[in-house]
């Protein structure tokens, strides 16, 4: 099959698009169930306060109110992704830790009644001193947010390779800078919502989420319900970007309300609620020290990165280290020291993000340009010199099995005549670039692998059953496209049952970039298993060898006698008659080191493979207004072999918008623990008019492990787009940024400083 592909690699409309553009797609908020109750949550007005008393008596008396709950109705379980991060009681009993934290909730016959009841709940607080800045929070004497976490350090990741101090001593040139990035909103178009229906001892759930199996397991623990009595169902999802990977307090609250009432309960957050009480993006402070040889070889690196974790652990260990990993997967690092601190503050909980760690990555890359200039090199040269290649290992011990980094650098820069433009940068007009790698899947214990099964119906159409999740990336469509290629039937002949925890086996979910590399590999193997069964019967009927069997456009034939075709439906029925229906099963587990642990042992194979990307931006800076205008953006991405180039391009364009343009626009604004821009009126996200001219380049490396040579599609651009902006800003102004986003006020301030 390798020699000719019929479907994979083709530009095909995504199977989900039609529903989204016609409005037919149903999101969680659209779900209506008979007798459904509406939930509302009472949220903390204090960033840090002791809960003295909660009086729900008045709320309970409101006609139409069916249940009112507080932390006392929970089961005393604290949530955490890892055992050592269990710090989050979904309805707190002792104290509140951020403005917007869930305190109490009710379920009523309609929204107005629920709102009325919520307003009648009386909470007595004893305000405590809050702390909002992570560097302040780390100081001795700062208010302690959680017991047992001195200096509010939630997670400390320490990685050290080589002899860093010695290397710095031997370096030709050393440079140290400090960068900051404001927190951001995920700004998913769909505010968070959850529907729960507890009936007959079973809990059914719908919510936008990246990993239904992970969600079900968490709720099983939190609600003390056996795992096979919880079913998280598939639903259309309006964006996740890393922020919907974990169980949310809303899930717990709505479930508990449904358990109490035995009626379906729905909670739909307002835009403001979504901003203050669902996940936020970490603020980051990065101290970056780099030492180089005269020829541009980087010999020493010392990093200290502080991540503002907000009130609870969330995916802390991952958040505290991933920015480093995606960088070490890109560049050779013989001597490197990394201290990553995730710190508690009295702000909303921070989660993973598709462009997480911005101050660190953009800081590293912009600093690299300055170093290159210092050495008389250009950004391309220094990156090509230090970039990893296939066959090499990362500093923490991951082997690179395919790598298109060099090609992405060359292709992306060629498109804008980068070398010349960089040299001739006129004042206030510049080009810049950023590179990064990203792991395709990472260790999640027994959740690292995926399985799929596929069955045929008697008309020769197939259904694949997989827990691949589609958060908007087109993962469903991708899985169907791969199945179509292997099974030789058109995409419209393939149905997918996905992500429903009852029907599917474990899968990492749309998390850790595993959907294509892990999930779709399982889909491919299941379909290959089914195809083998089909070929076995066809071989007999066609009197040919298995290797000559071709299945294409619903017909089976031998490539040696293509005139003699058998419909696949015929083969499928024959299999039924033989008592061995065509049912394929396939599993894939990536080649990762399962002993690798985020904090205690950050060494070993991190992922089955890594994808690469280079972002290039061209921009001008208005010295009067401080406004940056991005004119052109090139995204060159090595995603192995793209399954659906059109879908990958869509991901790249989304990344440019969410990271590249956000880098000059988006940022959370806080005042005394209150988020000042919680809605889309105050929080500006890029729209079509802000978008630059975009060119995308898909560098095809055939990954030896990925399905049809594919790796994850798109995240490297989301991760490197900030860097391209920071780099171009340096090229245009001679200044390194100090804090992202590069909004006009910050730009004007920087223009007052000295160059370099």
Residues of this chain that interact with its own copies (CB under 8 A) are 18-19, 24, 32, 34, 199-200, 213, 217, 220, 226-228, 445-447, 449, 451, 453, 455-459, 461-463, 465, 492-495, 497, 501-506, 573, 576-581, 583, 585, 587-589, 594
Give the nearest distance from C-beta 448 to its own copies in angstroms: 8
What angle (nearest 5°) sits at the alpha carbon of residue 437, between those of residues 475 and 641? Answer: 50
Give the nearest distance from C-beta 490 to its own copies in angstroms: 11
Comparison of 246 and 638: residue with beta carbon closer to its own copies: 246
Give the nearest distance from C-beta 39 to its own copies in angstroms: 18
Give the nearest distance from C-beta 325 to its own copies in angstroms: 22
DSSP string, 244-305: TSS--HHHHHHHHHHHHHSS-EEEE--HHHHHHHS-EEPPEEEEEEEEE-TTS-EEEEEEEE
Comparison of 219 and 648: residue with beta carbon closer to its own copies: 219
Give the nearest distance from C-beta 571 to its own copies in angstroms: 11
Comparison of 551 and 575: residue with beta carbon closer to its own copies: 575
- How far is CA 733 from each of CA 378, 621, 692, rounded to the nearest angstrom? 16, 8, 20
Comparison of 463 and 620: residue with beta carbon closer to its own copies: 463
* Cα-Cα-Cα-Cα dihedral sign, residues 575, 580, 581, 582: negative
Nearest to 542 by CA among 523, 556, 552: 556
Comparison of 189 and 594: residue with beta carbon closer to its own copies: 594
Comparison of 503 and 599: residue with beta carbon closer to its own copies: 503
Comparison of 267 and 728: residue with beta carbon closer to its own copies: 267
Give the nearest distance from C-beta 32 to its own copies in angstroms: 4
Give the nearest distance from C-beta 589 to its own copies in angstroms: 2
**Within a 10 A sphere around the Cβ of 390, how many other Cβ atoms?**
17
Sort strands 265-268 and 37-43 into parallel, antiparallel or unpaired. parallel
3-state secondary structure of 551: strand
Integer-rounded Cα Rg, in Å, for the chain is 27
Is the bond into 623 cis (omega within 30 degrees of 0)?
A: no
Comparison of 417 and 459: residue with beta carbon closer to its own copies: 459
Give the nearest distance from C-beta 55 to its own copies in angstroms: 35
Indicate the burial class of 235 (C-beta count within 10 angstroms; 0-12, 13-18, 19 or more): buried
Cα distance between residue 260 and residue 223, in whole Å? 12
Reading the block at residue 64, the tokens are: 């139409």
Sort strands 298-310 and 284-292 into parallel, antiparallel or unpaired. antiparallel
Give the nearest distance from C-beta 593 to its own copies in angstroms: 12
Nearest to 651 by CA among 443, 333, 660: 660
Q: Look at the block and give the residue holding tokens 């009480």.
A: 277
Comparison of 572 and 740: residue with beta carbon closer to its own copies: 572
**Within a 10 A sphere around the Cβ of 24, how many other Cβ atoms?**
9
Give the nearest distance from C-beta 591 to its own copies in angstroms: 9
Comparison of 428 and 583: residue with beta carbon closer to its own copies: 583
CB 507 within 8 A of CB 519: yes
């Amino acid at each position: 099959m390798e020699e000719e592909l019929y479907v994979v690699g083709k530009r095909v409309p995504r199977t989900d698009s039609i529903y989204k553009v016609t409005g037919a797609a149903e999101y969680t908020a659209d779900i209506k169930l008979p007798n459904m109750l509406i939930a509302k949550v009472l949220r903390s007005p204090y960033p840090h306060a002791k809960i003295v008393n909660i009086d729900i008596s008045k709320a309970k008396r409101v006609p139409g109110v069916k249940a009112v709950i507080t932390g006392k109705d929970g089961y005393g379980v604290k949530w955490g992704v890892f055992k050592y991060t269990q710090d989050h009681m979904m309805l707190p009993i002792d104290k509140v830790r951020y403005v917007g934290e869930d305190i109490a909730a009710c379920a009523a016959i309609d929204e107005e009644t629920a709102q009325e009841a919520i307003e009648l709940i009386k909470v007595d607080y004893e305000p405590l001193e809050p702390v909002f800045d992570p560097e302040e929070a780390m100081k001795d004497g700062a208010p302690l947010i959680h017991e047992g976490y001195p200096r509010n350090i939630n997670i400390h990741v320490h990685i050290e390779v080589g002899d860093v101090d010695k290397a710095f001593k031997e370096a030709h040139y050393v440079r140290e800078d400090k960068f900051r990035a404001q927190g951001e909103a995920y700004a998913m178009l769909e505010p968070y919502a959850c529907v729960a229906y507890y009936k007959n001892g079973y809990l059914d759930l719908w919510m936008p989420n990246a990993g239904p199996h992970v969600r079900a397991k968490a709720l099983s623990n939190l609600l003390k319900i056996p795992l096979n009595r919880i079913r998280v169902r598939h639903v259309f999802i309006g964006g996740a970007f890393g922020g919907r990977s974990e169980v949310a307090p809303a899930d717990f609250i709505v479930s508990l309300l449904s358990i109490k009432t035995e009626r379906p309960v729905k909670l739909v957050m307002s835009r403001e609620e979504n901003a203050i009480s669902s996940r936020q993006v970490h603020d980051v402070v990065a101290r970056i020290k780099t030492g180089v040889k005269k020829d541009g070889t980087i010999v020493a690196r010392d990093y200290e990165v502080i991540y503002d974790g907000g009130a609870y652990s969330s995916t802390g260990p991952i958040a505290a280290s991933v920015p480093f990993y995606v960088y070490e997967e890109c560049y050779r690092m013989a001597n490197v020291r990394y201290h990553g601190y995730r710190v508690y503050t009295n702000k909303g909980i921070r989660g993973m993000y598709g462009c997480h760690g911005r101050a660190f990555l953009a800081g590293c890359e912009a600093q690299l340009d300055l170093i290159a200039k210092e050495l008389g090199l250009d950004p391309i040269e220094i990156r090509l010199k230090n970039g990893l290649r296939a066959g090499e290992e990362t500093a923490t011990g991951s082997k690179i099995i395919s790598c298109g980094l060099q090609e992405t650098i060359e292709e992306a820069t060629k498109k804008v005549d980068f070398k010349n433009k960089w040299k001739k940068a006129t004042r206030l007009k510049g080009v810049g670039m950023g590179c990064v790698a990203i792991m395709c899947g990472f260790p999640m214990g027994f959740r690292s692998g995926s399985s799929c099964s596929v069955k045929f119906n008697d008309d020769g159409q197939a259904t694949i059953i997989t827990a691949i999740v589609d958060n908007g990336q087109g993962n469903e469509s991708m899985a169907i496209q791969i199945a179509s290629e292997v099974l030789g039937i058109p995409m419209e002949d393939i149905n997918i049952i996905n992500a429903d925890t009852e029907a599917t086996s474990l899968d990492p979910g749309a998390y850790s970039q595993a959907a294509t590399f892990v999930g779709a590999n399982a889909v491919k193997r299941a379909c290959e298993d089914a195809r083998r069964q089909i070929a076995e019967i066809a071989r007999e009927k066609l009197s040919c060898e298995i290797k000559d069997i071709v299945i294409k456009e619903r017909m089976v034939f031998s490539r040696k006698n293509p005139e003699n075709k058998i419909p696949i439906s015929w083969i499928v029925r024959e299999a039924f008659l033989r008592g061995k229906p065509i049912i394929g099963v396939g599993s894939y587990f990536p080649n990762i080191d399962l002993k690798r642990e985020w904090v205690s042992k950050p060494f070993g194979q991190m992922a089955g493979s890594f994808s690469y990307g280079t972002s290039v931006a061209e921009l001008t800076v208005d010295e009067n207004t401080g406004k940056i205008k991005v004119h052109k953006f090139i995204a060159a991405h090595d995603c192995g072999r793209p399954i659906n180039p059109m879908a990958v391009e869509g991901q790249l364009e989304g990344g440019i918008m969410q990271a590249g343009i956000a880098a000059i626009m988006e940022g959370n604004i806080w005042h005394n623990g209150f988020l000042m821009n919680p809605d889309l009126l105050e929080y500006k996200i890029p729209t079509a008019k802000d978008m630059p001219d975009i060119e995308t380049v898909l560098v095809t490396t055939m990954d030896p492990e990925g399905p049809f040579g594919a790796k994850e599609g798109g995240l490297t651009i989301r991760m490197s787009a900030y860097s391209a902006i920071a780099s171009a800003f340096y090229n245009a102004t001679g200044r390194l940024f100090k804090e992202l986003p590069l909004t006009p006020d910050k730009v004007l301030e920087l223009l007052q400083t000295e160059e370099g």
